[in-house]
Amino acid sequence: MENLTLVLELIGTVAFAISGALTGLKKETDLLGVILLGIITATGGGIFRDILLGVFPPAAFRNPLYVLTATITSLAVFVIAAVQMKHGRLANISSSKSLLLLMDSVGLGVFTIMGVQTAWTMFGNNGFLCVFSGVITGVGGGLLRDMIVSVLPDIFAKHIYAVAAIIGTEAELIFLRVNLPKAGAIAGILTVAAIRLLAAHYEWDLPKLKGYRKDV
């Protein structure tokens, strides 16, 4: 299970780093900005989780593998984009949005289930803590990313973002309670990513009051 955990963490790190780096490119930040957004998106949720669970220092600071992976991934995104622009092949906007959505969905799924498994390993069958740990791990990096670039975070605005993470944690817990952690990991990731992608495609949103304004 330890090998599977490492593989999943690296997949999530790469996916979220790509998501953060693409956001940096869209906001026309410099190379350092692209790399930092990639690192923050990839490690932010895990740092929040470790602080919540009392793990100090957080894993992102104890093992340089995650920051290094996010840095290399973000640098690769920047170089590929630069080469495309140099040869006059500007990235298609719709394709860029699709890639950003896909990477964000994969990252959300992977880190959500990792947050659940970490809490489960440390505190056992505490469903509320596991769900909270999973959600904060999944959405934390994207939340920081969007706040840094002055964008209303997806968790507050669209596409059933946090709800997808909550449902995914519940799907994983079903398998964890019968001692099937690998099946739970797969079920959780697929559930989160599928809901996120379907919500984006069909524009599913939670109810909101459009046009409401309260004068101060």
Q: What is the pLDDT of residues 51-98, one digit of tens each?
A: 999 999 999 999 999 999 999 999 999 999 898 888 766 555 446 678
Q: What are the tens digits of pLDDT across the range 178-193?
A: 999 999 999 999 999 9
What does the DSSP 8-state code read for residue 90? P
Dist. CA 109–CA 117, nearest whole Å: 13
**Global confidence as pTM:** 0.89
Q: What is the dihedral of CA 209, 109, 197, 83, to 10 degrees?
A: 110
When the pLDDT of each residue in the chain is averaged and rounded to a whole number, the result is 89
Amino acid at site 49: R
Q: Which pLDDT does position 170 carry in this prediction?
A: 95
Dist. CA 138–CA 117, nearest whole Å: 12
